[in-house]
Each structure stands twice: as C-alpha cells, then as structure tokens.
C-alpha cells in the first residue's frame, strides 16, 4: 500500500513560505558581503544595516529548518508513546545545536540571547545544556573606536583626567570592553566602554527575535514562550544603561558593607555615563577557580553561596541586571522553602497555588530539591521514589511545561534562572547538593524574621535600637534554623515511637517561633523599651 504523501497544514505552509521569502529577501546581502567586508563596515550605518540583514537571514533560516524538522520527525507519533519521547528529544538536541551555531556565527546579542535562554530553566534540557556552552568573548575593537566613545561621553579633553590609559583592553565581551587606567590621584580604575553601535544592533536583533517568536506562536498555538524575547529585551535594556548599573553597584556595596570578605568597587560618577562606567580597579579570580581556592586553602563547601553574585573577577563585576522582589512574594517564597525542606505537602501546595502554579505545584519539590512531593526525605531519595519520579516526569508533555511557565510570576522565573546559575557554579566546585539546600534554608529563615531591618536601620536615626532588634531576631532565626535541622535529621530516621514524641515537641517549638509572631511582638516591645527605658522597673 502506497503511503499517503505528507502535506503541511495550509496555515503552516503559508508561514514557511513567508519565512522562506524573508530568507530570499536578505540572501543577496549575505552573498554580497563577506566577513571581512562586514567587519570593516560594521562601525558605519550602512555596514550595521547590512550586517543586521545578514544576521536576520541566518536566524530565519534556522527557525524555518527547525519548524520543518519538528513537523517531519514527529508526524504520526502518539504524544504519550515512548517513541514520541525519544524522537522529540532527538529533535530538541538537533535544534539546540542549530541555534548554538546560529548564536556563534551571529555573535553579539545572539550570544547573549542564547545564554539568557539557557539560564531560564524553562526549555527542554537539550536546549539548556547545549546553549550553556556559549561564551561571551569577542575580539576587542581598535582603540580609535573606543576613543571616540570616550570623547563623546567624557568630553574632548578626557585624556587630561588620567595619568595613564592603557589602549589594550583587559577584557572584551559582546557589548563593551574594559581598559585599565590611572587617575591623576594615582587611583587605579577600570573603564568599561560600550561599543558605539550596540544600541542600534540590540533594537534590530531583538525585533527579529520577537518577529520569529510571534511567527512560531502563529504556526503553533501551543507555543507559550512569546514572553522570552520581551524579557530578553528588558534585560538587555538594563544592561546597556551603565548609569543604572552604577546605581546597582552602590546598592550592592551598601547591602554588603558589613561583610569583610567582599569588595564592591567604588564608582567614579564624574567619569560615568550611559556608555562609560568607571570603577575602582581590583584584581581577583573567579569564584569557581578551584586551583586558586586550593592555593588559599579555602574549601569550596565553606564558600558562602549567597556571595556568588559578587565574588567574580573584580575588573568585570557586573551589576547590570538586578531584580528587587515584591515583599509579599519574597515572604511567600521564604515560606515555600521552609515547606520544601520540612516536606510539608499541604503548605507547599497552598503556596504553589498563590504563585499561580496550580496543579503543577506538586512538581516544585522536584524543581528545587530534586525529590518528589511524596518523599519523606529532605535531601536523599530512595530507588523506588526515583523510579516513581522518572515515570511521573515522563508523563509530562512539552505543552504541560509551557502552561506551567506561563502561569508563574516573573519573580519566580527570575529565581529559577538564578538558582540554575548557582547550581552550575557549585557543580564545578564539587559542592554537595545538601550544602546548597541548607544554605537556602538558612537565608529563608533569616529572610522571614529579619526582613527590611537593614533598610530601616540605614534610614532611621535610632540605629542602635534597630541594631539590638536585629541581633535579637537573628538569634531567633538561628534557633529556628537549628530546630529545622533537627526535624530534618529526625525525619531521615526510620519511624519509631520515641521519634514521634520528639517530633511532636519540635513541631510545638517550631510553631511558637513563627515569623508572624515575632514580627508582631518584638518590634513594639523594643520600641517601648527605647522610648521608656525604665518601663520594666
């Protein structure tokens, strides 16, 4: 029997024709311009436009090829079959490699976009693992181009502000490069200079990405990632504003002012603009430089995970993309983490509903702790539980993942992205999963009891009052954390009558050290003692 020939649905056939037409319309630019010519023209307006068309042609071609690959490879397969799951995994991997090549060839914001997507933890693992290999390193621009940017931003006589300015950069990435300099005061500084055509290139490339994403959504209504290009554009807009980054840097310095292990470079505002950022120069090493840590005698497990965002190469400190969590959301997430560690199923599901996860709330423990919701173990997982978890995850379709991510608030997705980055770093350092989970728990407990105290103490004239209150609540937070550790330890031991009795006592003590209780009681008591010190006598 002759198999029936496969035909694309009319809507998708039209979409592919439009994509093909887009490729044909820009192919002439690609053929007329070789790499050398594009490099020489890229600083000019015409060169930037031609280069943009060529990048767009490559992107459209990659997307069209991917659409065809999915259509042909998955046709006729039942979505709940093992063959479908095997085939779609292979297509995911081929497509991810295709986009990896696209990002490497197009460079610039395509590399940034690939890194952004890889860090989201919202796409299939084949995409995340493949695109995570992207490196944001480029050949530096000639100093005459950088000199023009400095002249436009700092004035025609900017060289008079420096004792020396190295023309060779110490680092170069997709949007800027960094030069070492010495001020007249003998202060060493690092000058981060943005490439002159970056803003125009970002607008061009992000519009292309948005168009392609909308096209895919039109072809496939089940596609739920239209928000990705917009989120990426917002992230890049913040990263291109060096004044915004400088303010974030000062905020980080203020928040970490009592930490003796961290140095946040000082910003020189008279030498800073939207395209130029001048900061105090520090030498340093990456946090995952194991050889350097070994030389210092520092054990990776003892490095504070909360400091990862600042303990990187000092001359490339990046404070561009910060996010301040909504206060109610922040408290809810702290409670969620407690519930995850204590295996409190009802509380986990209730908080998941508040975050908008709905029926997918049961997968939150898998996402953050790697254990199924029914597991009785906070850290480990039995063979039976592992098999159950694998089978349950197999039943999930890509549409389920899309629906889940679509319902989550942006703050939650941002936390998932940062958690993915931290996991990647500690994996390189050989830090155990238990260390990560306990560190998160510690700060979740502290965050519930001691929220906003640092902000209040820095703005209030009663600094000593807030210092005493903070110390007391810190003690309560430590006590609560110890109780959680004991409960986790007790929970990992086989069930016995004595364990149940101990558990009952711990549950009672834990309930009495709730953040709501201490937040309501401690503040007015301390305030009364501050206003009337003799009230107790």
Helices (H), 155-241: 198-219, 227-239
Residue 507 has pLDDT above 50, yes or no: yes
Residue 529 lies in a domain: no
> So what's the pLDDT on residue 4?
44
How sure is the predictor about 132, in pLDDT bands with cuts at 50, 70 and 90? confident
Note down the domain range covering 396: 327-522
> So what's the pLDDT on residue 232?
87
CATH number of the domain that residue 267 is part of:
3.30.200
> So what's the pLDDT on residue 163?
95
How many whole angstroms from its chain centre is CA 519?
31
Of 291, 315, 339, the one marking the end of a domain is 315
Residue 148 lies in a domain: yes
CA–CA separation, 267 and 278 (whole Å): 6
For 500, the enclosing helix (H) or strand (E) is: helix 497-512
Rounded average pLDDT over 467-483: 73
Inter-residue contact 407 to 399 (CB < 8 Å): no
> So what's the pLDDT on residue 313?
35
Query: What is the model's pTM?
Result: 0.74
Rounded average pLDDT over 315-339: 83
CA–CA separation, 198 and 318 (whole Å): 17
Residues 122 and 266 in one domain: no
Inter-residue contact 314 to 281 (CB < 8 Å): yes
For 277, the enclosing helix (H) or strand (E) is: strand 276-280
Residues 163 and 114 in one domain: no
Of 315, 336, 355, the one marking the end of a domain is 315
Residue 52 lies in a domain: yes
pLDDT for 367-424, tens place per residue?
888 777 777 666 666 677 777 777 766 666 666 666 777 778 888 888 888 888 888 7
Residues 164 and 67 in one domain: no
The number of folded domains in the chain is: 3
pLDDT for 229-253, tens place per residue?
888 888 888 889 999 999 999 988 8
> So what's the pLDDT on residue 229?
87
Residues 74 and 125 in one domain: yes
pLDDT for 218-234, tens place per residue?
887 777 778 888 888 88
> So what's the pLDDT on residue 119?
78
Q: Looking at 145-149, 256-260, 329-333, 496-500, which range is the least confident one?
A: 496-500
Residue 21 lies in a domain: yes
How sure is the predictor about 322, in pLDDT bands with cuts at 50, 70 and 90? confident
Residue 59 has pLDDT above 80, yes or no: yes
> So what's the pLDDT on residue 244?
93
CA–CA separation, 412 and 120 (whole Å): 11
How sure is the predictor about 158, in pLDDT bands with cuts at 50, 70 and 90? very high
CA–CA separation, 10 and 13 (whole Å): 5
Residues 261 and 375 in one domain: no
pLDDT for 360-370, tens place per residue?
888 888 888 87
Residue 308 has pLDDT above 50, yes or no: no
Residue 6 lies in a domain: no
DSSP calls for 138-175: -PPPPHHHHHHHHHHHH-TTGGGGEEEE-SS-SEE-SS
CA–CA separation, 192 and 153 (whole Å): 12
Inter-residue contact 455 to 327 (CB < 8 Å): no
Residues 289 and 332 in one domain: no
Residue 284 has pLDDT above 90, yes or no: no
Please give the mean pLDDT across all residues of the chain: 76
> So what's the pLDDT on residue 277?
96
Residues 176 and 211 in one domain: no
Residues 343 and 310 in one domain: no
Residues 505 and 368 in one domain: yes
> So what's the pLDDT on residue 187?
95
* pLDDT greater at residue 506 or residue 277: 277
Residue 321 lies in a domain: no
Residue 66 has pLDDT above 60, yes or no: yes
Residues 246 and 266 in one domain: yes
> So what's the pLDDT on residue 235?
85
> So what's the pLDDT on residue 493?
47
CB-based burial, 384-405: b 16+ in 10 Å, e otherwise: ebeeebeeeeeeeeeeebbebb
Residues 150 and 213 in one domain: no
Residue 371 lies in a domain: yes
Residues 22 and 81 in one domain: yes
% of the chain at pLDDT higher than 70? 70
Residue 357 lies in a domain: yes
């Amino acid at each position: 029997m002759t198999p029936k020939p496969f035909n694309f649905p009319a809507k998708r056939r039209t979409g592919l024709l439009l994509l093909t037409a887009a490729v044909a319309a820009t192919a002439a630019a690609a053929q007329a311009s070789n790499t050398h010519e594009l490099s020489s023209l890229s600083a000019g307006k015409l060169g930037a436009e031609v280069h943009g068309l060529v990048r767009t042609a490559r992107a459209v071609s990659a997307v069209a090829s991917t659409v065809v690959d999915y259509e042909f490879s998955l046709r006729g397969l039942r979505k709940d079959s093992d063959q479908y799951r095997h085939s779609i995994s292979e297509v995911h991997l081929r497509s991810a490699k295709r986009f990896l090549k696209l990002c490497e060839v197009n460079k610039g914001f395509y590399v940034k976009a690939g890194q952004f997507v890889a860090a989201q933890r919202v796409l299939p693992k084949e995409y995340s693992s493949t695109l995570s290999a992207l490196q944001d390193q480029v050949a530096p621009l000639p100093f005459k181009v950088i000199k023009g940017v400095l002249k436009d931003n700092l004035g025609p006589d900017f060289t008079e502000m420096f004792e020396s300015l190295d023309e060779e950069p110490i680092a170069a990435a997709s949007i800027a490069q960094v030069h070492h300099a010495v001020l007249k005061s003998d202060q060493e500084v690092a000058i981060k200079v943005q490439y002159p055509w970056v803003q125009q290139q970002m607008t061009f490339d992000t519009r292309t990405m948005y168009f392609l994403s909308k096209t895919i959504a039109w072809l496939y209504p089940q596609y739920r990632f239209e928000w990705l290009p917009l989120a990426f554009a917002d992230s890049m807009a913040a990263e291109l504003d060096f004044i915004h980054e400088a303010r974030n840097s000062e905020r980080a310095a203020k928040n970490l002012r009592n930490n003796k292990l961290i140095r946040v470079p000082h910003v020189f505002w008279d030498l800073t603009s939207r395209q130029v950022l001048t900061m105090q120069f520090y030498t340093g090493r990456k946090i995952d430089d194991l050889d350097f840590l070994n030389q210092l005698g520092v054990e990776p497990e003892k490095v504070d995970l909360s400091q990862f965002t600042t303990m990187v190469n000092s001359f490339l400190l990046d404070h561009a993309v910060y996010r301040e969590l909504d206060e109610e959301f922040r408290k809810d997430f702290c409670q969620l983490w407690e519930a995850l560690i204590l295996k409190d199923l009802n509380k986990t599901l209730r908080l998941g509903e508040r975050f908008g996860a709905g029926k997918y709330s049961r997968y939150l423990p898998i996402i953050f702790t790697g254990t199924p919701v029914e597991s009785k173990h906070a850290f480990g997982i039995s063979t039976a539980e592992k098999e159950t978890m694998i089978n349950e995850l197999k039943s999930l379709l890509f549409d389920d993942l899309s629906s889940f991510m679509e319902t989550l608030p942006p703050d939650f997705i941002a936390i998932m992205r940062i958690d993915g980055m931290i996991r990647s770093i500690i994996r390189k350092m050989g830090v155990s999963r238990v260390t990560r989970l306990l560190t998160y728990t510690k700060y979740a407990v502290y965050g519930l009891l001691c929220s906003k105290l640092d902000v209040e103490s820095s703005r209030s004239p009663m600094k000593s009052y807030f210092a005493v209150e903070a110390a007391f609540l810190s003690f309560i937070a430590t006590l609560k954390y110890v109780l959680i550790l004991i409960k986790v330890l007790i929970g990992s031991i086989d069930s016995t009558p004595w364990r149940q009795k101990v558990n009952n006592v711990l549950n009672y003590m834990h309930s009495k050290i709730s953040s709501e209780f201490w937040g309501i009681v401690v503040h007015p008591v301390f305030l009364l003692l501050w206003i009337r010190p003799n009230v107790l006598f």
